[in-house]
Amino acid sequence: MTARRVALLLAGGLALIAFAIWLSSHRHLEHATLSGDLVLPGLEQSVNAVSEVDLRRGDGSHTSLKKASHGWVVGERDWAADPGKVRKLLLDLGALNVVEEKTRLPANYPQLGVEDVSTPKATGTQIDVVTPGRTFALIVGKTSSGKSGYVRVAGTAPSLLAAPLLTPDADPKTWLERSLIDLPVTRVRQVEEKPAEGAAYSATRDRKEQADFTVAPVPKGRLLTHAGAADAIAGALGSLSLEDVQKAATPADARLSRALFRTFDGLEIEAAGRKDGARALITLKARATAKEAEAEAQQLNTRLGGWEFEIPDYKYGAIFRTLEELLQPAPAKPEKPAAKKAAVKAPAASGTEPAPK
């Protein structure tokens, strides 16, 4: 082997060693600078400009949150979204930072839940955040700890462990503004109940200072369970919240329970309820009988009119209580004495005919 050839081989070997050292250094530097970087750079400065947030899963569940002039709306329900919940999601997405890079191999994505959500087997949730300049797309996978979870920017190879922890839900119900009405018991003067089954009755008090509501009519021979048996009914519209909402579409043959709440200051709230399988559904309508209540009644009707609300079953039971639920068990009827059977004497047996007179 000539000296020239040896020199060329030596130079080539040194070049390979230098390249390997550079590559190792570059990769180390890349991972060092990656940790702590924002997952979605640019979103933090654009949070207030976001116009829409879409969440979807492989199982077909989907929620579209849209910014309207009066606030955020859940598109699938056309009902107001919880603004605090939407705001928190956007702030968490903007602040999402890399803890460390994980796999780049698509075959390993399912282990972290960050595979594309185009198939029913996908377990992650894709979030698309729309701004005037661009759309940010992130797949949120499984939880790693109470503070971090796995994510992948849609369309890119690296999967990441990132914080803070995101737990998005693509079910529209979870994003609804749940507050319906808050009618304090202190305002209520009377409740008229007309159950779908059972007798109608009313619970009334003459003044706010009266401790317990008077129930009428009470069937003859029956007693209330206690003096304040009907008091809970008057507070049934306090802090009332929904579980789901739909456009009002009460079937014509529905058997409705009705409760009319009257306040001391001239507001009336009529609740009509029905059961649809396991769901407890109500509609709410307001009217005013005094000038001071007109604005409140109009505001309530504007927000609640034309909708049917699913509410917790226990709340439904509190609004539409039957009279029988307020009464002590009916006293047992005394048993009637058994009728005495008249004694019947059999004619005496005789072997001879009576003698003729």
> Is residue 169 helix, strand or coil?
coil
SS3 content of the chain, % helix, strand, coil (to 5): 25, 30, 45
Same domain, 159 and 209: no
Cβ atoms of 168 and 140 within 8 Å: the answer is yes
Q: Band of the pLDDT at 251, cuts 50, 70, 90?
A: confident
3-state secondary structure of 81: strand
Q: Please report, for the domain that includes residue 118, its CATH number.
A: 2.60.40
Q: Could you tell me what percent of the chain has a pLDDT over 70? A: 85
- Judgement on whether residues 221 and 274 belong to the same structural domain of the protein: yes
| Distance spanning both ends of the chain, measured CA to CA | 174
Residue type, 312: P
Determine, yes or no, domain membership for 237.
yes
- Total domain count, the chain: 2
Q: Are both 165 and 188 inside the same structural domain?
A: no
In-domain check, residue 34: no
CB 156 within 8 A of CB 41: no
Asked whether the predicted pLDDT for residue 336 surpasses 90, the reply is: no
Is a pLDDT exceeding 90 seen at residue 340? Answer: no
Are 139 and 118 contained in the same domain?
yes
Which phi and psi angles does 16 have, rounded to 5°?
A: -65, -40
Query: pLDDT digit string (tens) for 161-195?
Result: 999 999 999 999 999 999 999 999 999 999 999 99
pLDDT score, position 10: 62
262-305, pLDDT tens digit by residue? 999 999 999 999 999 999 999 999 999 999 999 999 999 999 99
pTM as predicted: 0.80
Last residue of a domain, one of 144, 171, 198: 171
Domain of 102? Answer: 44-171
80 and 213 share one domain = no
Regarding beta strands 97-101 and 160-163, do their DSSP bridges make them parallel or antiparallel, or are they unpaired? Answer: antiparallel
Q: Is residue 342 part of a domain?
A: no
Tell me, yes or no, whether 212 and 247 share the same domain: yes
Q: Are residues 183 and 312 in the same domain?
A: yes
In the sheet where 279-288 sits, what is the strand order? 214-216, 201-204, 188-194, 257-263, 267-276, 279-288, 307-311, 244-247
What is the per-residue pLDDT across 109-153, written as a single tens digit (0 to 9) for each?
999 999 999 999 999 999 999 999 999 999 999 999 889 999 999
Would residue 262 count as lying in a domain? Answer: yes
| Residues 158 and 77 grouped into a single domain | yes
pLDDT, tens digit, 9 for 90 and up, residues 10-35: 665 555 555 554 444 344 334 443 78
pLDDT value at position 28?
Answer: 37
- Whether the Cβ atoms of residue 244 and residue 310 lie closer than 8 Å to each other: yes
Residue 108 and residue 247 share a domain: no
Strands 307-311 and 244-247: antiparallel
**Position of tokens 């009319």?**
260
